[in-house]
Amino acid sequence: MDWKNHCVALIPCFNEAPHIGEVVSAVRAFIPQVLVIDDGSTDGTAHTAEKAGARVICCRRNIGKGRALRTGWEQAQAKGFQWVLMLDGDGQHAPSDIPEFLRCAEITGAPLVIGNRMLDTTTMPFIRRTANGWMSDRISQLVGTAVPDSQCGFRLARLDLLLRLPILTKRFEVESSMLTTFFQHRQAVEFVPIKTIYRSAKSNIRPLRDSWRWLRWRLDQRAAFRACITMRVP
């Protein structure tokens, strides 16, 4: 696979000006084409990303991570890319791990490769470690196989499947939705170990509202899994 020409890095951002320039520059050492979706930032995120060499699409208001990612998928497909590498703009994903994603996709043929932070959680805040473990256990029960890290936003995926499968969630539940949808449509999912980096306890997640939204999403997914067996998408 000619990753440099067929893969684009996609970074959804909301007020990440302190880190996004460094992230974009580091990612471009592995994936030259970087697309940043500025999700209504007010702190100069777009300008900083452009200076670092990214193409930036600005949303007039905050539309949520799920919608921002879909906007990026559509733009990437329009530009002729076949794969998308997704990561966050806050510096908590190490671009040096990118080759492991590419290698895993080449060796296994899996259309979705997800980072696994749970092999070393010493730097992960307790609340996030606990919440991620609980959510991953619930997802594992839902799909019928062990899922070590369901919430990691560092992932590599085939663009055609991202746009053809019904991944319709609008906000932070998109990571879970993407994962369960691939399993539901019998698409292979692989995990690769990645570094765990936490520079601060800052998070754009709103604990009560986003937790309630995730729980409602899970109830809907459980009903969908019980109701039908979905045919494999070629």
pLDDT digits (tens, 9 = 90+) for 152-189: 999 999 999 999 999 888 877 888 889 999 998 999 99
Q: Is residue 233 assigned to a domain? A: no
Domain that holds residue 149: 3-227
Question: Which stretch of 73-82, 151-160, 179-188, 209-218 has the lowest confidence by average pLDDT?
Answer: 209-218
Average pLDDT over the chain, rounded to an integer: 86
Question: In CATH, what number is assigned to the domain containing residue 131?
Answer: 3.90.550.10
On the CB side of 138, CA atoms within 13 Å amount to 17
Query: Torsion angle of alpha carbons 220, 222, 224, 229, nearest 10°?
Result: 170
Q: Is residue 8 assigned to a domain? A: yes
CB atoms inside a 10 Å sphere around CB 226: 8
Residue 199 pLDDT: 62
Q: Is residue 105 assigned to a domain? A: yes
pTM score, two decimals? 0.84
Q: What is the DSSP letter of 201?
A: S
Q: Is residue 15 assigned to a domain? A: yes
Domain count, the chain: 1
Q: Is residue 47 assigned to a domain? A: yes
For residue 224, pLDDT beyond 70? no
Within the chain, what is the greatest distance between any pair of CA atoms? 49
Residue 172 pLDDT: 73
Q: Is residue 176 assigned to a domain? A: yes
Which residue, chain included where needed, has tokens 């997704």?
86
Q: Is residue 232 assigned to a domain? A: no
Average of per-residue pLDDT across 125-145:
81
| Burial classification of residue 176, based on how many CB atoms lie within 10 Å of its CB (0-12 exposed, 13-18 middle, 19 or more buried) | buried
